[in-house]
Amino acid sequence: MHLKLQLIDYSIIIIYFMFVVGIGIMLKRRIKTSNDFLMSNKNIPLWITSLAFISANLGAQEVLGMAASGAKYGLYTAHYYWLGAVLAMVFLGVFMMPFYYGSKARSVPEYLKLRFDEKTRTFNALTFACMTVFSSGVSLYALALLMETILGWDFSLSIWLAAGIVLVYIFLGGLTSAVYNEVLQFFLIVLGIAPLVYLGFIQVGGIEGIMHNVDNAKLHLWKGMGSATTNPMGVDAFSMVFGLGFVLAFGYWCTDFLVVQRAMISHNLNAARRTPIIAAFPKIFMPLIVILPGILLLALQKQSPGFKLPNQADGQPNYNMTLPLLLSNLYPSGILGVGVTALIASFMSGMAGNVTAFNTVWTFDIYQAHIRKNASEKHYLFVGKATTFVGILLSIATAYVARGFNSIMDLLQLVFGFVNAPLFATFFLGMFWKKTTSNGAFWGLIAGTGAAALTHGLTVAEGKGGWIANVHTYSSGTSHAFNIAAIAFVFCFIFTVMISLVTQPKPEEELKGLVYSLTPREKDMAKVWYKNPLWLGIILLVITLIFNIILY
């Protein structure tokens, strides 16, 4: 499948590149210290941090992957938003942000250092740094592969061009530049894909057309969730609620520095708390932009053979081509350029988010903590910039490795998944139970990671896993992932509690501002409801509940 771009389409792509680089150039003279470069000097307005918060997650996986999932699983995919994001974002804003922001930590690993000890911080910092470089490289690889497939662009050209542009704008303007570009990318993705949804919606004949042409089993959120075998996703309600809605969602939205960093650069605590909550409002409606296209494709396939997805090597439909297929069929030249630019923006946004999180964690949590403790501001600014350069080079190398050795990439992704799965248990206990000890946290994390690996080795889904023995087969890869995460969380939680009970906790004096019960409650001074994180959170939860009831 090839999209034929005209001069107008290329012009739009070039103008976009000029703007993203221009933002970096414009912000260059604001960068004087490492704090400006890596932390935006904690001076970013609320509307920007909120949109950057949601946009840091609006990478290729979200835009292409959710459309693909929409076509494969239908409306069930919306659980990634209404169950797997909103609740966790509200929890982060209402309960966790006061500790991240109030502790004056510059990163999530640094919070772990303050709450626990250096070894827990270093473990988290190292795994996070590796994971961000890996994710950035995978994003770059996916971009180049897509451009090669749909536009016929040279693989290497796409990699070096996209990486070069991201490098220039981060190198010049640091985190502020990445955040500004993320907001531009947010608008571009939403406005570039919204007309596609509208055109598809009109072509299928509106809601009636969808109901008539799409299998009814794919048009529900909860129906058939009593068992993993009675819904297209192959996941039962417990795995969905506990695995996705609790462990994975809270683990990602509340502890992943890539997104939490966007809230930590707010200008005050109230803005930091409201950042994830304000971001959750557009997040609720994102399924209209990223999942609905997949469902529309299902309806369009019934009406026209031109909407048939190309097959993969194994003969299965290549669902990742859902969005490019719709672009090619519904967009004429002109708006097609905007659509393709939106896709490119989503990849670059994902990559830039990872690189900025990587350079902060490397500079503050690894270099400053272990290599050179008391250097000048100028020196750390240099290290931050050099780390950006190295991070981009490592991403490029990862992209080439991904092309040649897909199995290594799958393995790495799996290992990072094991490390991430138990993380929320450590943070949850650390913030809400003052007796959690440093050794408990560290060994709990190790136990949770080990439990995740062991579960994967003993269970199978879609031909994957079971490298030790097969004691259980899950009905889908999604269910497998949710259950591994749930087991890792439970193991981490139990081990952390058990070890904490037999080891010495930190003195309470040292835990003030880091643990809920030892931190004086700051009365929320917001006089109006829309400045109060709790009220905003309640409104979000009510809207989410209504969506779940309507689309049951």
Partner 1 sequence: MKSILDLRFVIGSFFGIIGGMLMVYGLSSGEMAAKTINSWCGGGFFIFGTLMILLSIKRQQKENVSD
As measured in angstroms, the least distance from the Cβ of 307 to partner 1 is 17
As measured in angstroms, the least distance from the Cβ of 187 to partner 1 is 6
Query: Between the CA of residue 22 and those of 51, 165, 352, 473, what are the distances in Å?
Result: 20, 10, 15, 52
As measured in angstroms, the least distance from the Cβ of 8 to partner 1 is 5
As measured in angstroms, the least distance from the Cβ of 492 to partner 1 is 40
Instruction: Give whichever of 184 and 414 is closer to partner 1, judged by the CB atom.
Output: 184
Instruction: Give whichever of 17 and 489 is closer to partner 1, judged by the CB atom.
Output: 17
Instruction: Give whichever of 335 and 447 is closer to partner 1, judged by the CB atom.
Output: 335
As measured in angstroms, the least distance from the Cβ of 45 to partner 1 is 9
Those residues whose C-beta lies under 8 Å from the C-beta of residue 314, and which sit 6 or more positions away, are none
Instruction: Give whichever of 173 and 537 is closer to partner 1, judged by the CB atom.
Output: 173
Residue with tokens 């269910």: 479
As measured in angstroms, the least distance from the Cβ of 284 to partner 1 is 21
In 3D, which of 48, 51, 97 has the Cα closest to residue 524? 97
Q: Provide the 3-class DSSP secondary structure of residue 461.
A: strand
Asked whether the beta carbons of 435 and 508 are under 8 A apart, the reply is: no
Instruction: Give whichever of 346 and 436 is closer to partner 1, judged by the CB atom.
Output: 346
Instruction: Give whichever of 16 and 80 is closer to partner 1, judged by the CB atom.
Output: 16
Torsion angle of C-alpha atoms 166, 168, 174, 180, degrees rounded to 10: -60
- From CA 270, how far away is CA 268, in angstroms rounded? 6
**Interaction site with partner 1 (CB under 8 A):** 8, 11-12, 15-16, 19, 22-23, 26-27, 48, 180, 183-184, 187-188, 191, 195, 199, 331-335, 338
Instruction: Give whichever of 26 and 494 is closer to partner 1, judged by the CB atom.
Output: 26
Residues in the chain: 552
DSSP 266: B
Residue 465, strand partner residues? 460
Instruction: Give whichever of 62 and 182 is closer to partner 1, judged by the CB atom.
Output: 182
Neighbours of 160 (CB within 10 A): 16
Instruction: Give whichever of 180 and 246 is closer to partner 1, judged by the CB atom.
Output: 180
Structure tokens at 255: 């502890």
Residue 195 burial (10 A CB sphere; 0-12, 13-18, 19+): middle
Residue 44, strand partner residues? 266
Instruction: Give whichever of 3 and 140 is closer to partner 1, judged by the CB atom.
Output: 3
3-state helix, strand, coil in the chain (%, to 5): 80, 0, 20
Instruction: Give whichever of 183 and 240 is closer to partner 1, judged by the CB atom.
Output: 183
Instruction: Give whichever of 60 and 335 is closer to partner 1, judged by the CB atom.
Output: 335
Instruction: Give whichever of 22 and 310 is closer to partner 1, judged by the CB atom.
Output: 22
Query: Between the CA of residue 387 and those of 113, 173, 370, 382, what are the distances in Å?
Result: 22, 14, 15, 8
As measured in angstroms, the least distance from the Cβ of 334 to partner 1 is 4
As measured in angstroms, the least distance from the Cβ of 53 to partner 1 is 15
Q: Provide the 3-class DSSP secondary structure of residue 311.
A: strand
As measured in angstroms, the least distance from the Cβ of 430 to partner 1 is 35
As measured in angstroms, the least distance from the Cβ of 180 to partner 1 is 5
Neighbours of 110 (CB within 10 A): 23
Handedness of CA 365, 370, 373, 375 (dihedral sign): negative
In 3D, which of 243, 252, 244 has the Cα closest to residue 276? 252
- From CA 94, how far away is CA 531, in angstroms rounded? 12
In 3D, which of 188, 216, 213 has the Cα closest to residue 201? 213
Residue 266, strand partner residues? 44
Neighbours of 218 (CB within 10 A): 21
As measured in angstroms, the least distance from the Cβ of 136 to partner 1 is 24
Q: Provide the 3-class DSSP secondary structure of residue 180.
A: helix
As measured in angstroms, the least distance from the Cβ of 49 to partner 1 is 11
Instruction: Give whichever of 44 and 258 is closer to partner 1, judged by the CB atom.
Output: 44
Q: Are strands 472-473 and 459-461 parallel, antiparallel or unpaired?
A: parallel
As measured in angstroms, the least distance from the Cβ of 467 to partner 1 is 49
Helix residue spans in 256-321 (DSSP H) = 257-264, 269-285, 287-290, 292-303
Q: Provide the 3-class DSSP secondary structure of residue 526.
A: coil
As measured in angstroms, the least distance from the Cβ of 531 to partner 1 is 19
